[in-house]
Structure 1
Amino acid sequence: MSDRKDLLRRLMRDLGLGETVQSLVAGQLRDGAGGAVLLEDPYAQIELARYADCGAALSAEACEAAAAAQKEWVAGHSAAKRGDVMQDIARAVLDHHETLARLEALVAGKPIRDCRVEVAKVAEMFRYYAGWADKLHGEVIPVPSGHLNYTLREPLGVVFQITPWNAPIFTAGWQIAPAIATGNGVVIKPSELTPLTTVALVRIAEGAGLPKGLVNVLCGLGPTTGQAAIDHDAVRKVIFVGSPETGRRVAVAAAQALKPAVLELGGKSANIVFDDANLKHAALGAQAAIFSGAGQSCVAGSRLLVHQSVHAELTDMIAAGMNGITLGDPLDEATEVGPISNGRQFSHVSAMIDGARNEGAKVRSRDTTPDTGYFVPPTLLSGLESRATAAQTEIFGPVVTAIPFADEEEAIAIANDTSFGLAGAVWTADVGRAHRVASAVRAGTFWVNSYKAIHVSSPFGGSLNSGFGRSSGSDALMEYTSPKSIWLDSGKTPMIGFGYVS
C-alpha cells in the first residue's frame, strides 16, 4: 500500500502543501507544537501521515492574523473588489478540480465521483457569494420622532469555524464563502482526521488573490487548538458543523466566552412513502437518501416511514437493490459507496446494528463487502418501534430503519417523534397531502418526491438537537453580519430630553 502514501505526497506537492501536514497561518505553512495526530486511509487501513496538533500558541497567532487581515479586507477592498476576488477563487478551484477531488477521496474515503461533484459545488459557493458581496445594504426606517434612522450591516470581525470529517472541502467552502463575502476574517479548524483539502483550498484562494491571513487553517484537536480559538478575544462568533454531542460542548464553550454560535448538527430524518407514490422512484430515492456517502450525512434519510399497505413491497425492493450497489476503493471510478471514514465511526455503526438485532430487528444487508476497509454493508432494519434505539439515535452510516404507518396523522406523529429537526421528505401523488405533510413535519429542509436536493442559494439548518442558525442562502449573510442603527436628528432644534449647559 506504499503507492497510496506516494500518491498522498504527490497530491500534496501539486497543491503546494509540501509533504507534511501543517497549519496555514498568515499565509505560511506552520508545524504544530502538540501531540501526534494520525491520518489513516479508511480503505487501505494504513497510516498515511502523522502531524503535530496545532496547539494554543499557533491558534492565537491565527486569530491575530485574521483580525489584522480583516481590517485590510474591508478598508482596502471595495465590496465589488471583494466579489471579484471571490470569482477568481472559484475559477482557481476548478483549475485544481481533479487534484482536490483525488486528495479528498484518498483521505476521507469518499468515492471520487462524489468528490468531483463536491469540489465543483465549492466553486459554485464562491461564485454565488461573490455576487452578494456588493449587494448588502441596510434600510431607512420611518421612525415617528423626525430623525433620519438608517441601518448598516457590518461584518462581525473574526469568526471561528469548525468543520467535520464527512465532507471536508464541501463544508469548508460552505462556511468560508459567506464569511469573507460579508467582510469577515476566518479561522477554520477542519476535523483533525481530514484537514488537507481545507488547507489546499485556502492555499488556492490565496494564489487567486485572497489576502494572506484573512483565512487561517488550524490542523489540530478540539480540546486544545479549538478551545484556544474560541477563547481568543479576536473571535466574535463560533460556527460548528458536527455531532450533537460535540456541538453541546462547543456551545457551552462559546457561551462561557459570551460569544454567539451557529450549530449545524445531526439528524434522524423521516423519509415518508405513501401508498399512492411511484414505488420505483421512492425506492431509488430511499437508497440514495441513506446509502450514498455511506450514510455519513446529517440529512440522511435514516428513518423510512412506509404506508402499511406497501411496506413489505417497498422494503423488499430496497433490500434487493442493495446487492447492485458497487462498494470499493474510493479512487476507483466504478465505486458508488466507499468505507466509513474512520475506525471509531465504523465501530459505532457496527455496534448500532448489533444493538438493533438484540432489540428484535430483522436485519437485511448486502451479501458481501470488500476484503479491506472500514466497510459497513448497506443495511435495512425492520420490525422495530419508533422509540427503538436504532430509530432514535443518529447512526451516521448506511443503515435505514423501516417503520410502517396506517395514515397521514400517524406518519406525521412518527416523523416528529424524535429529538432532531433537520430534514425530511414525502413521496405521494397527492399535492394537497404533500403540502400538509411538508408543513406539519418539523424540519429545516423538506423534499417532495425527491431527496438531498441542496443548493448554496437555499437556507440550510435545523432545530432542537439538529442545532440552530442557518449556513447558506441569503440567511447566512445575516449570520455573518451585525445590524447597526444610526439616528440623525434632522430638526432645527435638537430633540434632547434632558441636558445641562453651563
Structure 2
Amino acid sequence: MSKVQRGNISEYLPADCMSGSTLWIGGKWEAASDGRTFDTVDPATGNPIISISRAGAGDVQRAVDAAKIGAKVWAELDGMQRAGIMRKAAELIREHRLALGALDSIDSGKAISETSGRNTDGAAGMFDFFSGITDKIRGSVIDMGPKKTGLVEREPYGVVGAISPWNFPMTNATTKIAPILACGNALILKPAEQTPLSALLLAHLLDLAGLPKGVFNVITGLGAEAGAALVEHPDVPKISFTGSTATGRRIAAAAGERLKSVTLELGGKSPFIVFDDADLDTAASGAVTTVFMNQGQTCTSCAKVLVARPLLAAFIEKCKERVAKISIGDPLDPSTDLGPIVSQQQLDRVNRLLSEGVAAGATKLALSAKYSPMVGGCFIAPLIVTDLDPASSLAREEIFGPVMSVSPFDNDEEAYAAANDTEYGLAASVWTSSLARAETARRAINTGIVWINCVHTLSLNTPVPGRKSSGLGSEYGWEAVDNYMRLKTTVTMFGDYKGLF
C-alpha cells in the first residue's frame, strides 16, 4: 500500500470484520448475539463506512468469560515472556503503520500525516516502553521484628475494562492496552462508537504477536449499552476510561456503587499564559499548535489563552500569520494539516457554544487558513474569539473544536486567578523568560501538568495526571503501574503466636 483510498478499507481490516463480525472475543471474530449492528461514518464525507457489531450485555458477558480464562494463562507467563510478546506487537504496529493510520483517518477525520506518523510511533512506543516494565515490578519486605515477616506484593486485577475515546483512537487505546497487559491483566476494550476501526486491526496484530487467546478482547457498541454493561459487571474489578467529564462522573458513580477502582482521564479547560517578558514568536507558535492541532479535539489543549495586555494585539497578529499557513481539507491528502470534526453531533456542539459566546458579547476574528472543506463533511475553519464573557458557556466549557479564546490580564495575580477559575485541572502552558516567574507559576496553577515555554511536550515515561474535574489517577510512565495492580500484604510468623484470649 502506497496511497490510502477512501471507501476501500477491506485491504486494511481482517476479512471477518467486513461482514459485521467486529467483536473480538476469546481470539475469534464474533457478531453481536442479537445480530444488531450500527454504521460507522466518515466525517469527511458523511458517508457510512461499514457496519459494526452493536454489543449488548450478553456479549460483554462472553468477553468477561473469555478474559477470565485469558488472565489465568497470561499470569502463568513470566515478565520476560510477556515482554517478548509486547515487543513483537510494537514491531507489527510499525509494520502496519499505513493501515492503522488509514483506519483512524477515515474513521475520525484526523490527517493521515499524523495518524500514520506520530500517532503510530506513539502507539508502538507504548508497547516498547511497558515491555520494559513487565519484569521489574517489585514488592517490599517490612521489618516486623525478629519472628515476623511482612511481605507487600503487587498483583494484577485480573480483568480490566478499558473504554477509549474518539479523538486519538489508536493512541489512547494503546495508552491503556500496553500498561494493562504489562501488569499481567487481561482486558476488554470498548472503543468509542465513532472510531472503532483501528482497535479491530490492533486485535489482529496482538493475535499475530502471540498474545494468548482471551487476554485481549474488543467489544464494539454504544457507550450506554456495551460501556455501561462493562462498568457494571461484577467480574470486572477495574475500569479505565478516557473521555468527557460528564461521562466520567457517571462511570465513577456506577463504580462507586460497586466499590470498583477507576482511572479517569477526563476533560480540561487549560490555560495558556503569555507574560510580558515572553518570546512572542515562540509563544504564538505554541498557542496555534495547542489550540488547532487535531481540530482542537485534544483534552490537554490550552485554548484558554491569557496574554499580558501590552502584548495582546501583537500576539493575535502573530497567531493569524501562523493560522494562514494551515491547510484544512481531505484528511487522506498527505499535504493536509487538519481534517473535519469527528461527527455532526460534535460539530453541532462546537457551533452551539460559539453562538452562545457571541450572544454573550464575544467577537469572532476573521482568519485566513487554507480552508477546502469536502462536500457533506463536518468541517469548521479555525477561529479566534476575543471579548469573552468569563461567565459564558464558551468561556467555561471544554469546546473540543478549533477555537482559541484570547483575553488580556494586567498583573501576574490576575493571570493565576483566571487560570484557576475553572472546574478542570488537567494542563497549563506558561511563557516567560524569568526563572522566578516560571517557578512561581508552576506552583500557583492547580493542574496536573504545567509546561514552561513549551506545550504538548511529553514522553512515554512522563505521567499525565488530572486534578479536580479532569480525572483520577495517571496515565503514561511508571506511575501507570499503580493504576493496574493492587497491593497484597502477607504476614508470616515463625515464633509462638500468642492470641488475646
Normalised by the length of structure 1, the TM-score is: 0.95
- Which residue matches 2:107? 107
1:262 and 2:266 are equivalent in the alignment: no
Aligned-partner SS, 1:240? strand
Which of 429, 432, 437 is residue 436 of structure 2 equivalent to? 432
Residue 152 of structure 1 deviates from its aligned partner by 0.7
- Which residue matches 2:81? 81
- Which residue matches 2:30? 30
Alpha-carbon separation, structure 2, partners of 1:371 and 1:69? 45
| Contact 1:319/1:364 (8 A) holds in 2 | no
Residue 456 of structure 1 deviates from its aligned partner by 2.0
Structure 2 gap ranges (5+): none
Deviations, residues 60-105 of structure 1 (Å, cap 9, x unaligned): 0101111111011112x11111111111111111111111111111
- Which residue matches 2:470? 466
| Contact 2:272/2:428 (8 A) holds in 1 | yes
Residue 321 of structure 1 deviates from its aligned partner by 2.6
| Contact 1:369/1:377 (8 A) holds in 2 | no
Residue 18 of structure 1 deviates from its aligned partner by 4.1
- Which residue matches 2:330? 329
- Which residue matches 1:151? 152
Which of 481, 487, 490 is residue 477 of structure 1 equivalent to? 481
| Count of residue pairs the alignment pairs up | 493
- Which residue matches 1:407? 411
- Which residue matches 1:452? 456
Q: Residues 419 and 34 from structure 1, CA distance in 2 versus in 1: closer, same or farther, beyond 3 angstroms?
A: farther
Identity fraction in percent: 34
- Which residue matches 1:498? 500
Which of 392, 396, 409 is residue 400 of structure 2 equivalent to? 396
Residue 498 of structure 1 deviates from its aligned partner by 2.6
Aligned-partner SS, 1:252? helix
Alpha-carbon separation, structure 1, partners of 2:129 and 2:340? 32
Alpha-carbon separation, structure 1, partners of 2:68 and 2:5? 38
| Contact 1:157/1:234 (8 A) holds in 2 | no
- Which residue matches 2:55? 54
Which of 419, 437, 450 is residue 423 of structure 2 equivalent to? 419
- 2:437 maps to a residue whose letter is R
Residue 418 of structure 1 deviates from its aligned partner by 0.3
Alpha-carbon separation, structure 1, partners of 2:295 and 2:35? 32
* 1:173-192 → structure 2 map (5 Å cutoff): 173-192=174-193
| Contact 1:296/1:398 (8 A) holds in 2 | yes
Alpha-carbon separation, structure 2, partners of 1:480 and 1:427? 35
| Contact 2:330/2:374 (8 A) holds in 1 | no
Residue 221 of structure 1 deviates from its aligned partner by 0.9
| Contact 2:167/2:298 (8 A) holds in 1 | yes
| Contact 1:365/1:379 (8 A) holds in 2 | yes
Q: Identify which range, 17-26 or 459-468, moves more after superposition.
A: 17-26
Aligned-partner SS, 2:24? strand
Residue 251 of structure 1 deviates from its aligned partner by 1.2
Residue 376 of structure 1 deviates from its aligned partner by 1.4
* 1:370-381 → structure 2 map (5 Å cutoff): 370-372=373-375, 373-381=377-385
- Which residue matches 1:222? 223
Aligned-partner SS, 1:92? helix
Residue 291 of structure 1 deviates from its aligned partner by 0.3
Residue 389 of structure 1 deviates from its aligned partner by 2.0
Alpha-carbon separation, structure 1, partners of 2:139 and 2:54? 42
- 2:121 maps to a residue whose letter is A
Alpha-carbon separation, structure 1, partners of 2:312 and 2:146? 64
Structure 1 gap ranges (5+): none
* 1:199-214 → structure 2 map (5 Å cutoff): 199-214=200-215
| Contact 2:14/2:204 (8 A) holds in 1 | no
Residue 143 of structure 1 deviates from its aligned partner by 2.9
Residue 316 of structure 1 deviates from its aligned partner by 2.0
- 1:421 maps to a residue whose letter is G
Residue 233 of structure 1 deviates from its aligned partner by 2.5
Q: Identify which range, 267-276 or 387-396, moves more after superposition.
A: 387-396
| Contact 1:35/1:53 (8 A) holds in 2 | yes
Residue 110 of structure 1 deviates from its aligned partner by 0.3
| Contact 1:270/1:415 (8 A) holds in 2 | yes
Alpha-carbon separation, structure 2, partners of 1:250 and 1:199? 24
Alpha-carbon separation, structure 1, partners of 2:291 and 2:21? 32
- Which residue matches 1:98? 98
Deviations, residues 324-345 of structure 1 (Å, cap 9, x unaligned): 2100111111111111011100
Alpha-carbon separation, structure 2, partners of 1:243 and 1:145? 52
Alpha-carbon separation, structure 1, partners of 2:174 and 2:288? 27
Alpha-carbon separation, structure 2, partners of 1:157 and 1:295? 36
- Which residue matches 1:166? 167
Residue 128 of structure 1 deviates from its aligned partner by 0.4
Alpha-carbon separation, structure 1, partners of 2:316 and 2:227? 43
| Contact 1:150/1:486 (8 A) holds in 2 | yes
Which of 445, 448, 452 is residue 441 of structure 1 equivalent to? 445
Alpha-carbon separation, structure 2, partners of 1:236 and 1:92? 30
- 2:47 maps to a residue whose letter is I
Alpha-carbon separation, structure 1, partners of 2:203 and 2:162? 14
Residue 146 of structure 1 deviates from its aligned partner by 4.5
Aligned-partner SS, 1:235? coil
| Contact 1:69/1:211 (8 A) holds in 2 | yes
| Contact 1:272/1:411 (8 A) holds in 2 | yes
Q: Identify which range, 143-152 or 101-110, moves more after superposition.
A: 143-152
Q: Residues 205 and 52 from structure 1, CA distance in 2 versus in 1: closer, same or farther, beyond 3 angstroms?
A: closer
Alpha-carbon separation, structure 2, partners of 1:19 and 1:100? 19
Deviations, residues 347-397 of structure 1 (Å, cap 9, x unaligned): 001111111111111101434442432111111111114333212110000
- 1:293 maps to a residue whose letter is N
Residue 281 of structure 1 deviates from its aligned partner by 0.5
- 2:102 maps to a residue whose letter is R
Alpha-carbon separation, structure 1, partners of 2:147 and 2:68? 38
Q: Residues 357 and 320 from structure 1, CA distance in 2 versus in 1: closer, same or farther, beyond 3 angstroms?
A: farther
Aligned-partner SS, 1:220? coil
Q: Residues 405 and 206 from structure 1, CA distance in 2 versus in 1: closer, same or farther, beyond 3 angstroms?
A: same
- 2:420 maps to a residue whose letter is N
Aligned-partner SS, 2:474? coil
Deviations, residues 253-310 of structure 1 (Å, cap 9, x unaligned): 2122221211110000001101111101000100000101000010011100100110
